[in-house]
């Protein structure tokens, strides 16, 4: 995996050879983004079983360790659950068969994710207004998925369809996914990109320049409330205030239909040092109190549409999301 903590200044690939290394990579955000951590967790389970001498005894520990890395993105738990189902279906099979099947399944999870992102792009591209700017927050790109991206997948597909668009990327304090990752990714593709600080978003949303907002998601409740990177909620409110459509692009695996609304989504609290320092340089007095929630929840009333691989859900989301998830 590409070490996302070192981008854009260094391009370093990390090779994990046991599941604890995968768990650590997810926890420390060497790999991050909801679909990407789902794929990594699936691969972590496969590696864990590969390395274990007694997988039946170790399987729960492997799954539980990977599940304990980050709490908000439901794709993590989805990826582990998918591997658990495969494993449970192999009771009584030789250990080599179990190992092989789990490796195959993890590779399938990865390949499917790329195909899903392309479909999200296909459904989302027509929604992007031509000759306008798209605003995005955090990084929901190739780096955050197995490839192509969700929000950036929509932007890529719109760009590839010939639309004359450009992108405003919020820098996304405190971890700077927008500055370090989204700007880097889009520049590699030659898509015109402008970096802004998070507190500039309202100014530009009011200016008439932004045609739509497209962001990713970490977990979407049954009613369409969306957990995504901290700061997304403010962007959504400002988009609505200024009549700018606000789209969420996410795979069906990001839906958590067991939660009736967003208040039930667990929000990860990260270390204070991410706020009090930037690249190791202190930017706040020592000992200051800090809050560092990594995500916020945008109520469904601010969401114009949720773009999935199966189509675009619009309000009322409780019905439209269930239908897209094939639960009706």
* Catalytic residue set: 218
Q: Which of 165, 294, 321, 324 binds ligand MRU (CB under 6 A)?
A: 294
Region near ligand MRU per CB under 6 A, out of 49-57, 84-92, 106-114, 216-224:
216-224
Per CB under 6 A, the list member of 1, 16, 33, 106 interacting with ligand MRU is 33
Please report whether residue 248 would count as binding ligand MRU according to CB under 6 A: no
Shortest spacing between CB 102 and ligand MRU, in angstroms: 24
Count of residues of this chain found to bind ligand MRU when the rule CB under 6 A is applied: 17
In the complex, minimum distance from the CB of residue 282 to ligand MRU, in angstroms, rounded to a whole number? 22
Is residue 34 a contact residue for ligand MRU (CB under 6 A)? Answer: yes
Q: Which residue(s) pair with 247 in the sheet?
A: 214, 305
**C-beta closer to ligand MRU: residue 45 or 220:** 220
In the complex, what is the shortest distance from the CB of residue 216 to ligand MRU, in angstroms, rounded to a whole number? 3
Taking contact as CB under 6 A, which single stretch among the options 7-15, 144-152, 276-284, 297-305 is the one that binds ligand MRU?
Answer: 144-152
- Nearer to ligand MRU among residue 150 and residue 320 (C-beta): 150
Strand order in the sheet with 246-249: 193-196, 166-170, 133-136, 210-215, 246-249, 305-308, 311-313
Residues in contact with ligand MRU, shown as a per-residue x/- string from 65 to 84 under the rule CB under 6 A: --------x-----------
Contact 113, 39 (CB under 8 A): yes
Q: With binding defined as CB under 6 A, does residue 262 bind ligand MRU?
A: no
304 forms part of the interface with ligand MRU (CB under 6 A): no
Tokens of 54: 């007694």
The correct pick among 218, 225, 256, 296 for binding ligand MRU (CB under 6 A) is: 218
171, 229, 236, 308: residue in contact with ligand MRU (rule CB under 6 A) = 229
Q: Is residue 140 close enough to count as binding ligand MRU by CB under 6 A?
A: yes
Using CB under 6 A as the binding rule, whether residue 177 contacts ligand MRU is answered as: yes
Structure tokens at 90: 């192999």
Rule CB under 6 A: say whether 312 interacts with ligand MRU.
Answer: no
Could you tell me which stretch among 86-94, 98-106, 211-219, 281-289 binds ligand MRU (CB under 6 A)? 211-219
138 is a site residue for ligand MRU (CB under 6 A): yes
Contacts of 56 (CB under 8 A, 6+ apart): none
Stretch that binds ligand MRU, among 9-17, 38-46, 122-130, 138-146 (CB under 6 A): 138-146
Task: Kindly indicate which of the ranges 26-34, 91-99, 206-214, 234-242 contains the residues binding ligand MRU, using the contact rule CB under 6 A.
Answer: 26-34
Burial class, 274, CB count within 10 angstroms (exposed 0-12 / middle 13-18 / buried 19+)? middle
Tell me the pairing of strands 219-221 and 226-229.
antiparallel
Residues of this chain that interact with ligand MRU (CB under 6 A) are 32-35, 73, 138, 140, 144-145, 150, 177, 216-218, 228-229, 294
């Amino acid at each position: 995996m590409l070490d996302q903590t070192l981008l854009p200044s260094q391009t370093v690939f990390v090779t994990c050879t046991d599941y604890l290394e995968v768990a650590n990579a997810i926890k420390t955000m060497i790999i991050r983004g909801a679909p990407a951590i789902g794929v990594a967790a699936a691969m972590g389970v496969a590696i864990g079983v590969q390395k274990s001498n007694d997988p039946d005894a170790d399987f729960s520990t492997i799954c539980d360790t990977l599940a304990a890395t980050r709490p908000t993105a439901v794709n993590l738990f989805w990826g582990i659950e998918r591997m658990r189902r495969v494993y449970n279906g192999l009771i009584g099979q030789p250990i080599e068969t179990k190992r092989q099947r789990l490796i195959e399944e993890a590779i399938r999870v990865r390949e499917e994710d790329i195909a899903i992102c392309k479909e999200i792009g296909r459904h989302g591209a027509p929604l992007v207004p031509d000759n306008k700017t798209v605003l995005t927050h955090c990084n929901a790109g190739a780096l955050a998925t197995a490839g192509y991206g969700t929000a950036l997948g929509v932007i890529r597909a719109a760009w590839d369809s010939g639309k004359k668009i450009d992108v405003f990327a919020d820098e996304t304090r405190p971890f700077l996914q927008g500055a370090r990752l989204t700007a880097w990714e889009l520049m590699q593709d030659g898509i015109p990109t402008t970096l802004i600080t998070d507190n500039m978003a309202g100014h530009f949303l009011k200016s008439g320049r932004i045609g739509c907002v497209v962001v990713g998601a970490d977990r979407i409740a049954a009613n369409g409330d969306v957990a995504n990177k901290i700061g997304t909620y403010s962007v959504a409110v400002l988009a609505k205030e200024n009549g700018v459509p606000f789209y969420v692009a996410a795979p069906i695996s990001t839906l958590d239909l067991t939660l009736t609304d967003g208040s039930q989504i667990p929000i990860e609290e990260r270390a204070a040092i991410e706020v009090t320092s930037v690249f190791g340089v202190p930017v706040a007095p020592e000992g200051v109190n800090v809050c560092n929630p990594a995500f916020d929840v945008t109520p469904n009333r601010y969401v114009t549409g949720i773009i999935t691989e199966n189509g675009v859900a619009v309000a009322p989301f409780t019905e439209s999301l269930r239908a897209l998830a094939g639960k009706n």
